[in-house]
Amino acid sequence: MAKDTFFRKKETLNAGGYLIDLSSPKVMGIINLTPDSFFAGSRKPGVEEAVWQAGKMLAEGATFLDLGAYSSRPGAVDISIQEETDRLLPVVEAIRSEYPEAILSIDTFRSKVAEAAINAGGHIINDISGGQLDEDMFATVARLQVPYILMHMKGTPQNMAQKTDYEDVFAEVYDYFASKYYQLKQMGVHDVIIDPGFGFAKKQHQSYALMSRLEEFSRLQLPILAGVSRKRMIHHLLGITPEESLNGTTALNTIALTKGANILRVHDVKEAVEAVKIFTACER
């Protein structure tokens, strides 16, 4: 792993009373409660389906489960707060009932949805917009005192594909994190994880440029989440489909681990856990 001898990243996370050690990389399993997420294999719109998938992912070694009820794929259809909440809350409650030890990340950019899901048993807020699509999000996170995944994106899921102009993509994303983290820290938020937002308002070469310098984000002294699973940056480069992109995902996840990623957000937990085990064995 690339190491920075001057800066030391925060390596613990307090989620719902669980103290999680991120010095050893962890895996976050994706459960999409939507009918239109880009990878069909991740769609679990029914409560029973989602609970079954949660059990499978936990058995395979997932530390976190990331529940999303709003599709953020490019050009996705916008849905109401009520519809997002109606999709999400029954699943949060059902998973917490069946697997009370499960640590649930709530994938939403809406503060009202986030608060309702945390009150229903969620532990972490995963915001693709970094608070930019809901001015109340940062205050909500601070009040709830939950870990916050701060992702970089420009625009909205509906128009982000047209917002890919950067003079220096790494510098812009780094400055974004530094500025947003300062705001969060001033508001009393203790646990922040950063996610460069691969593929969100970024062309393929820009996503790879960020991956090539991923270890430099460690200067912010914050845990890093890498979310590349089955994304366009993989299947478009290789000329295949998302369904055929598991091997490419594993390769890119392994590269992310060598560059300091603390959390891998994935559709395929078993393969990601195996990659972490092999990586960790090489680091001993």
Contact 174, 216 (CB under 8 A): yes
Which residues are CB-neighbours of 9 under 8 A, at least 6 positions away? 218, 221, 222, 223, 224, 260, 262
Residue range 245-254: mean pLDDT, rounded: 98
For the cut 80, the answer to whether the pLDDT of residue 47 exceeds it is yes
| 7, part of any domain | no
| 263, part of any domain | yes
| 69, part of any domain | yes
Instruction: Tell me the backbone φ, ψ of residue 126, rounded to 5 degrees.
Output: -115, 105
Q: Report the domain count for the chain.
A: 1
| 31, part of any domain | yes
Long-range contacts of 96-101 (CB under 8 A, 24+ apart): 96/120, 96/121, 98/51, 98/54, 98/55, 99/54, 99/55, 99/58, 101/58
Residue range 161-171: mean pLDDT, rounded: 94
| 76, part of any domain | yes
What pLDDT sits at residue 284? 73
The per-residue pLDDT for range 5-19, each reduced to its tens digit, is 445 678 899 998 889
| 5, part of any domain | no
Query: Which residues does the annotation mark as catalytic?
Result: 231, 265
The per-residue pLDDT for range 73-96, each reduced to its tens digit, is 766 678 899 999 999 999 999 999
What residue numbers bound the domain in which 113 lies? Answer: 12-283
How large a percentage of the chain has pLDDT more than 90?
A: 82
The per-residue pLDDT for range 170-220, each reduced to its tens digit, is 999 999 999 999 999 999 999 999 999 999 999 999 999 999 999 999 999
For the cut 80, the answer to whether the pLDDT of residue 41 exceeds it is no
For the cut 60, the answer to whether the pLDDT of residue 44 exceeds it is no
For the cut 50, the answer to whether the pLDDT of residue 42 exceeds it is no
Contact 181, 221 (CB under 8 A): no
Put simply, whether the predicted model's pTM sits higher than 0.85 gets the answer yes
| 268, part of any domain | yes
What pLDDT sits at residue 1? 42
| 4, part of any domain | no
- CATH code at position 73: 3.20.20.20
Instruction: Tell me the backbone φ, ψ of residue 55, rounded to 5 degrees.
Output: -60, -40
What pLDDT sits at residue 45? 59
What pLDDT sits at residue 252? 98
